[in-house]
Amino acid sequence: MYKNKRILAIIPARGGSKGVPRKNIIEVGGNPLIKYTIDCGKNSKYLDRVIVSTEDLTIKRIAEENGGDVPFLRPAELAEDTSKTIDCIVHAVNTLKAMGEEYDYVMILQNTVPLRKSWHVDEAIEKIIDKNERSLVSISEVDEHPILMRTLNEDESVKNLLHMNSTMRRQDFPKFYKVDGAIYIQKIDDEFNLNTSLNDGKLGYIMERKYTTDIDNYIDIKIVEYYIEKEREKEAELMK
């Protein structure tokens, strides 16, 4: 709880995955992937409850073995390749409400972004509640700047994506950010429903890129493991 606002966190973790099969529970850095996000949520100062939403019994078991809370299974029809994340979020919020639990805000912590920290979670919560906004999304600065991106016309002539002059030094480029998938927060009110667009959160919470690697393929796993190993080396040095 923060400033008398009850906050629920949901970790969506369906069984299907095309890029990396069984991605949500694959071993990364010696642990099931889902453990990192469970630990992140549990270490938050403000989250009142952290649950895992899954339809998969194996994910449920592994999540619970690693300290996760799986109070119910998600309906299979909300875990298809075509299912939207908001579908399972609304289902979870409504199911808990029917069980007698109501919250003011819901945070979505995608399991595939394992490097985010509990202090990111707490800073984002403080920001949205202090500013009294309805929605927040974490963002990080882009590497490939859109000022250099082009689309093609039908005659294959290039068309600038942005109407800006690109003949400037890279260090003078204006900053652009992308939704990085690490943190989403939505106020649970009359406007919160299946049409809610998580990616269109109004308030931005800026994160460093090193914390926002989203595992979509095996190369991403290697990147995450690199950062995990560096963190462990740093912790070992501090213990000496």
| Confidence (pTM) | 0.89
pLDDT at 47: 98
Find out whether 66 and 58 touch, Cβ atoms under 8 Å: no
pLDDT tens sequence for the chain (240 residues): 999 999 999 999 988 777 688 889 999 999 999 999 999 999 999 999 999 999 999 999 999 999 999 999 998 888 888 889 999 999 999 999 999 999 999 999 999 999 999 999 999 999 999 999 999 999 999 888 777 888 899 888 888 877 777 677 777 777 889 999 999 999 999 889 999 999 999 999 999 999 999 999 999 999 999 999 998 988 888 877
H/E element holding 60? helix 57-65
List, in order of start, the domains of the chain with CATH numbers. 7-140+177-239 (3.90.550.10)
Task: Collect contacts of 141-147 with beta carbons under 8 A, ≥24 apart.
Answer: 141/175, 141/176, 141/177, 141/206, 141/209, 142/176, 142/177, 142/178, 143/209, 145/170, 145/173, 145/176, 146/176, 147/173, 147/174
pLDDT at 130: 97
